[in-house]
Amino acid sequence: MTREQIIALLPHGEGMCLLDTVESVDENSITCSATIHNDHPLRHNGEVSGIIALEYGAQAIGLWAALRHGAENKPKEGYVLALRNFKLHDRALPQNALLTITADKKLLGEDSAICLFAVASEKNVIAEGQITLKTGPTS
C-alpha cells in the first residue's frame, strides 16, 4: 500500500500522515514503514522525540482498523483512549532511519481497537506498548 492510499484512509491529511507504506496486513496485524526526514512535522529543536513513536503506533492501528472495517467509508477521527505498558527505549527517533511499525490485535470493536504495538529501527525497539484507540466523539 502506498503513501497516497494510506492518506486516503487516515483523517490526518498529507501533512500529518507519518506512515510511508504498508508492508503487510492481515486480519490480526499490520506492519508499516516510515522514514524520519528533515521536514518531519513533529520535529522540535532538531530532533523528533521518541514519544512520537506513540503517534506512529496509533496511526498504524487506525489504518489497520479502517482496512478491517472497509476502506470505502470516509476516514473517522480517533484518539488514544488508553496507553498501557508503554516502554520508551530511546529519547529520540533516529534521523533518516527506516522505522518499522507493527501492531497486533487484541480486540477490535465497531468504534475501538486494542492492539500491542512496537516501533523499531534496524531491529532496535524504540517504543512498545498497548494502545486502545477510539473513534467518534470525544465526549
Domain ranges of the chain: 3-135
Share of the chain above pLDDT 90, in %: 57
pLDDT band at 130 (very low <50, low <70, confident <90, very high): very high
Cα-based distances in Å from 122 to 98, 102, 127: 7, 13, 13
Using the predicted structure, report yes or no on whether residue 118 has a pLDDT greater than 60. yes
Q: Which pairing describes strands 48-49 and 78-88: parallel, antiparallel, or unpaired?
A: unpaired
**pLDDT tens-digit series, residues 70-90:** 755 566 788 899 999 999 999
pLDDT at 137: 61
The architecture CATH gives domain 3-135: Roll (3.10)
Beta strands in 26-76 (DSSP E): 29-35, 48-49
Rounded distance, CA 24 to CA 41, Å? 25
**pLDDT tens-digit series, residues 9-30:** 888 778 889 999 999 999 999 9
What pairs with residue 35 in β-bridges? Answer: 98
Cα-based distances in Å from 32 to 18, 44, 117, 119, 127: 10, 24, 11, 9, 15
